Amino acid sequence: MSFTSFVWEIGNISNKSSRKRHRLRRGQAHINPEASFSSSPGSPGSSTVQIEQRKWANLPPELLLDIIQRVEQREQCWPGRRDVVACASVCRSWREITKDIVKTPELCGFLTFPISLKQPGPRDTPIQCFIRRERATSTFRLYMGLSPGELSKLLLAAKRVRRATGTDFVISLVGDDFSRSSNKYVGKLRSNFLGTKFNIFDSQPSTDSTVCSSCELCRKTHPGKVAPRVTTSNYNTAKISYELNILRTRGPRRMQCIMNSIPVSAIEEGGTAPTPTAFTNCLDEHSSPLLDSAGRRPQVGSTSRSMQNVPLVLKNKAPRWHEQLQCWCLNFKGRVTVASVKNFQLVAAVEPSENVTITEQENVILQFGKIGKDIFTMDYCYPLSAFQAFAICLSSFDTKPVCE
């Protein structure tokens, strides 16, 4: 059997077992390696699934490691990257080895599993994506790829919901389910009435340690009690503000982003950004989402003088006025082709006392721009994640009559 046929057989067995599990446990995402794939002992079809998985789980670890490494090294982009996901969907032993082999986007520059959308991007080369706006349905879809003409992978989708006091952009892993109680829900963006201030809400905290501590506390406080199904929690992880243009002067929008979940030390030499390793769903109505060492419940992104946990602040890069073109210009390196007030580039806004090099201060962390009707590019890199970058770009689509 050729290596390609071997990989396809793995995918077929994974799909068959996933369809069986889907009938048993509706709503569980079979491509999510963090999910549990085991069936209850007495459930129908559980023996068939266990037999199929046992056949592949009994492979020698050295051989299994070599197989998955070959698949991971060969498939460097989508849709071929789905073969790596198929390996993680075979059984528990395959999943654990695949998770050890596949690195985070910061280290490898690839988006593989759903949790990769919550992890920081690469430090050197930005991940290039594009956003398609659908006016009829008020939805926005984020795709992996250089241009809409290529075979692209859907990463995230958002739906705009207008309220009496503002606007919500509900963000999901799929394009047809925007329920906040769904396991596809990843967060939302909320604006004020004028569309000048926004808050990014994440469905989980920025670090796994706080989640683990809260789960342990819940188990100790309520032993043997089954947690009820509740709506997914929201954690305020960033704030976006647009400067008012009262005098109606000509020029692009001016914005500022306070990333409460990312410390400014992340862009210093040797610094690291929070990197979640799994989606969390263990919180219930009795547990505190975040606890400090004293058992108190601080706000997400609160600063600590001892830790010098000052949040990272991003600002839009100032454009220059082009006399011949009679417009404001930024160097998007060919990724933006249509002039629009929505176009922007974000760089770090740091104080002189902070240990951040000039190179890091001039590095473009996120750029967003128009290339056609309802088509926009989005390029992001460390320390932002795809979810955070997408939420910031969504703020540019909201109406801002007092900022233009």
Looking at the 3D structure of the chain, how many domains does it have? Answer: 2
Q: Are residues 3 and 145 in the same domain?
A: no
Q: Which amino acid is at 385?
A: S
Q: In terms of Cα–Cα distance, which of 261, 291, 288 is closest to 275?
A: 261
**358, β-bridge pairs:** none
Q: Specify the DSSP element, H or E, that contains 55.
A: helix 46-57
- Average pLDDT of the residues of the chain: 76
Q: Are residues 92 and 238 in the same domain?
A: no
Please determine, for residue 3, whether its predicted confidence score (pLDDT) is greater than 90.
no
Q: Are residues 260 and 347 in the same domain?
A: yes
What's the mean pLDDT in 327-335?
83
Q: What is the pLDDT of residue 142?
A: 95
Q: What is the pLDDT of residue 2?
A: 54
- What is the Rg, in whole angstroms, of the alpha carbon atoms belonging to the chain? 23
pLDDT tens digits, 334-346: 899 888 888 899 9
Q: What is the pLDDT of residue 230?
A: 41
Residue 276 belongs to some domain of the structure: no
Of 102, 133, 166, the domain-final residue: 102
Tokens of 168: 């919500």
DSSP-derived letter for residue 322 is E
| Alpha-carbon distance values, 12 to 6, 50, 143, 232, 286 (Å) | 10, 16, 25, 33, 41
Please determine, for residue 184, whether its predicted confidence score (pLDDT) is greater than 80.
yes
Distance (Å, rounded) from C-alpha 6 to C-alpha 289?
44
Q: Are residues 118 and 155 in the same domain?
A: yes
**Higher per-residue pLDDT: 249 or 233:** 233
Of 102, 123, 140, the domain-final residue: 102
Q: In terms of Cα–Cα distance, which of 87, 120, 79 is closest to 15?
A: 87
Is 122 in contact with 382 (CB distance < 8 Å)? yes
Residue 27 belongs to some domain of the structure: no
Please determine, for residue 244, whether its predicted confidence score (pLDDT) is greater than 90.
no
Q: How many helices (H) and strands (E) does the chain have?
A: 9, 14
Distance (Å, rounded) from C-alpha 247 to C-alpha 127?
37
**Among the ranges 14-18, 136-140, 194-198, 315-319, which has the highest mean pLDDT value?**
136-140
Residue 349 belongs to some domain of the structure: yes
What's the mean pLDDT in 264-278?
88
Please determine, for residue 386, whether its predicted confidence score (pLDDT) is greater than 50.
yes
Residues 6+ apart with CB under 8 A from 210: 289, 290, 291
Q: Are residues 123 and 256 in the same domain?
A: yes
Q: What is the pLDDT of residue 279?
A: 82
Q: Are residues 238 and 341 in the same domain?
A: yes
**Higher per-residue pLDDT: 215 or 372:** 372
**Higher per-residue pLDDT: 292 or 332:** 332
Name the 3-class secondary structure at 191: strand
What's the mean pLDDT in 146-167?
84
Please determine, for residue 330, whether its predicted confidence score (pLDDT) is greater than 80.
yes
**364, β-bridge pairs:** none
Residue 22 belongs to some domain of the structure: no
Q: Are residues 82 and 161 in the same domain?
A: no
Name the 3-class secondary structure at 136: coil
CATH code at position 354:
3.20.90.10
Work out the burial of residue 229: count CB atoms within 10 Å of its CB; fewer than 13 is exposed, 13-18 middle, 19 or more buried: exposed
Tokens of 45: 């079809």
Q: Are residues 83 and 165 in the same domain?
A: no
Of 102, 131, 162, the domain-final residue: 102
Residue 293 belongs to some domain of the structure: no
Residue 185 belongs to some domain of the structure: yes
Q: Are residues 334 and 375 in the same domain?
A: yes
Q: What is the percentage of the chain residues whose pLDDT exceeds 70?
A: 68
In this prediction the pTM is 0.77
Q: Are residues 98 and 123 in the same domain?
A: no
Residue 119 belongs to some domain of the structure: yes
List b or e across 137-160, with b for residues whose CB sees 16 or more CB atoms inside 10 angstroms: eebbbbbbbeeeeeebbebbbbbb
Residue 388 belongs to some domain of the structure: yes
Q: What is the pLDDT of residue 258?
A: 95
User: Look-up: residue for tokens 């100032």?
Assistant: 318
Q: What is the pLDDT of residue 294?
A: 36
Q: Are residues 314 and 379 in the same domain?
A: yes
Q: Are residues 141 and 237 in the same domain?
A: yes
Domain extent at residue 86: 1-13+53-102
71-75, 167-171, 239-243, 307-311: least confidently modelled range: 307-311
Q: In terms of Cα–Cα distance, which of 40, 41, 47 is closest to 17?
A: 47
Tell me the pLDDT band of 284, cut-offs 50, 70 and 90: very low
Distance (Å, rounded) from C-alpha 366 to C-alpha 346?
5
